[in-house]
Amino acid sequence: MREQLKKALAGALQKAGISVAGEQIIIEHTNDLKNGDYATGVALAYAKQAGRSSRALAEEVVAALGRSPTGETLGAVDGISKIEIAGPGFINFYLASNALTSSINAATEDEKWGSNKSLDGKKIMVEYTDPNPFKEFHIGHLMSNAIGESISRLLQFSGAEVKRANYQGDVGPHVAKTIWAVKNSKVPGGSWGDAYIVGNKAYETDEMAKKEIDEINALVYSRADSAVNAIYDEGREASLKHFEKIYEILGTKFDHYFFESETARKGMAIVKAHPEVFESSDGAVVYKGEKVGLHTRVFITSKGLPTYETKELGLAELKAKTWSFDESITVTAHEQADYFQVVLAAMNEVMPDIARKIRHVTHGMMRFAEGKMSSRTGNVVTGESLIGDLTDVARGRAKESRAADHEKLAQDIAVGAIKFQILKGGTSKDIIFDRERALSVEGDSGPYLQYAHARTRAVVEKAAEQNIAPRFDERAEISDLARLLHRFPEVVLRASLEREPHHVTTYLVEVSSLFNRWYATEQILDGSNTQAHKVAITSAVCCTLKNGLHILGISAPERM
């Protein structure tokens, strides 16, 4: 509908003497349904060019569309019942029943309701989560996972072929610190994460330990010490197996796993092959980013070891050889934005064909009342413990539900609560995680959406038992709920193009809220001749919530 309106408006402006392409015309959904379904300020934008007031231009445009300024006559735009002019010249469009009928029927009959083909044929790799073996799965990994998984699903819903990638640091100082602590029996019975914390503290406070850890770090790369290798192999395997259990809980299945132990060698070869780009400085090899308005970063240390920057070059090359993508998206915290800019600048000089396909999506930090948590100090709420804490709380509610598997429901509620809190405000923003609000069944929360879906599902199942087939009636009064459902495909498209899942969270809350108000005042299965119509709307809400929750990576329980 939006594209149809753009084309019609471009034609109407042409009649008023203004030449403008349809793609230059901005049409938005109205903030309040009482003002119509779509709105445009095109008359305000081109009034000066037209040499008349915006209100007068709006009237000309509306007349050219085949309507009077008050919208009494049937016009040339199919699916629009009324056009109004508001204020200084805003033009508001109201949908007709036939447009809503196609939307409701699609929502009740098409499992892919809401999908589009804007990215049809595109191959996109999305790298996210990226926990490091030998360390805890912290809340930053939860944020990266929630955002990366949702972006992946948005892109798939828009027709792209998506490969999910996970890049993990299985070499580096954190590994050496962990091995040192285990080798010296500093954490008997403790976890690998505990060993890292102990090793990190020793590295910062004990010069002898620091020297030993630096030596271990070199041995991890060279694989020259059997004792170090044995600890390394055991820790790496145990860490990766444990992470797989967390991915399963979060609903993520990765297609490709990349490791720093692989990318380090490739990156070193790239850096050494381009002395014209990477310069020697005090025994190290650096990229001087000042020449492109950035800053200098080290790519090979004075000890001859690769830095994260060098490994990132190797990763880009390895990704490209693994799968021929059109775009590669990397999801990281804001803290890595400056680092990534320099890496991308260097990449543009040494592998421009790959660099032009790289995109960086950054996210904010999750904070609690105690402020920012740090895995270096051990003062940390891990991602795993947060899931466990919320599951414990949700377990009590799940036992009172109609669900067959109470434990699975409790976990679904907990994960949904966390993901919604991460996604609802926009990927770039920091969030203050509020456990009570996250688990609330009222307002903007994951459980609120899940309960709304379960409610619609119960009605649809009961209707099926009574052999009541959903049937949207164009003669019925047009409801705000039906008008809102029509927006779902366009909301998904916008979220996909902007790589911003929060557009979907905001929309689903609005749908759930409107449905719950409608449900409170309507007797759906009342035996009347309108019940099939009301079942059609309920079924459409059910499908919209299910598909929307899927895009967010949140389970849609059928019984709660």
Q: How many angstroms separate the Cα of 472 from the Cα of each of 81, 186, 531, 533, 537?
A: 18, 69, 10, 5, 7
Q: List the CATH number of the domain containing 134.
A: 3.40.50.620
Residue 373: its pLDDT value, please?
47
Residue 499 falls inside a structural domain: yes
Both 543 and 481 in one domain: the answer is yes
pLDDT in tens, the chain (560 residues): 888 899 899 989 998 899 988 789 999 999 999 999 999 999 999 999 999 999 999 999 998 887 655 544 435 578 898 999 999 999 999 999 989 999 999 999 888 999 999 999 999 999 999 999 999 999 999 999 999 999 999 999 999 999 999 999 999 999 999 999 999 999 888 889 899 999 999 999 999 999 999 999 999 999 999 999 999 999 999 999 999 999 999 999 999 999 999 999 999 999 999 999 999 999 999 999 999 999 999 999 999 999 999 999 999 999 999 999 999 999 999 999 999 999 999 999 999 999 999 999 999 998 875 554 444 444 567 899 999 999 999 998 899 898 999 999 999 999 999 999 999 988 888 988 888 888 888 889 999 999 999 999 999 999 999 999 999 998 888 899 999 999 999 999 999 999 999 999 999 999 999 999 999 999 999 999 999 999 999 999 999 999 999 999 999 999 99
Q: Which amino acid is at 402?
A: R
CATH number of the domain that residue 81 is part of = 3.30.1360.70
Q: What is the CATH number of the domain that holds 504?
A: 1.10.730.10
* CB-count exposure of residue 550 (10 Å: 0-12, 13-18, 19+): middle
State whether 83 and 174 are in the same domain. Answer: no
Contact 141, 130 (CB under 8 A): yes
* Helix (H), strand (E), coil (C) string for 277-339: CCEEECCEEEECHHHHCCCCEEEECCCCCECHHHHHHHHHHHHHHHCCCCEEEEEEEHHHHHH
468 Cα distance to chain centroid: 37
Phi, psi of 288 (to 5 degrees): -90, 95
433 and 327: one domain? no
Q: In what order do the strands lie in the sheet with 279-281?
A: 279-281, 284-287, 297-300
Q: Does 342 map to a domain? A: yes
* Same-domain check for residues 520 and 414: yes
Q: Domain limits at 443? A: 384-552
Residue with structure tokens 């008349």?
Answer: 52
Residue 524 included in any domain: yes
Is 9 domain-assigned?
yes
How many angstroms separate the CA atoms of 162 and 56, rounded? 49
Domain check: are 80 and 212 in the same one? no
Whether the Cβ atoms of residue 152 and residue 555 lie closer than 8 Å to each other: no
Residue 273 lies in a domain: no
Number of domains in the chain: 3
Residue 458 confidence (pLDDT): 96
The reply to whether 90 and 175 lie within a common domain is: no
Residue 401 lies in a domain: yes
- Copy the structure tokens of residue 68: 């009077």
Does 471 lie in the same domain as 363?
no
Residue 291 inside a domain? The answer is no
Instruction: Please indicate, yes or no, whether residues 87 and 185 belong to a single structural domain of this protein.
Output: no
Contact indicator for 293, 344 with CB cutoff of 8 Å = no
In whole angstroms, what is the distance from residue 2 CA to residue 22 CA?
A: 10
Q: Within this chain, do residues 363 and 389 fall inside the same structural domain, yes or no?
A: no
Domain identity same for 344 and 467: no
Are residues 23 and 153 both part of a single domain? no
Domain boundary among 94, 120, 155: 94
DSSP 22: G
Q: Can you spell out the DSSP letters for 339-384?
A: HHHHHHHHHHHH-HHHHTTEEEEEE--EEBTTBS--TTTS---BHH
388 and 363 both lie in a single domain: no
pTM of the model: 0.93
Return the pLDDT at 334.
Answer: 93
- Whether residue 179 lies inside any domain: the answer is yes
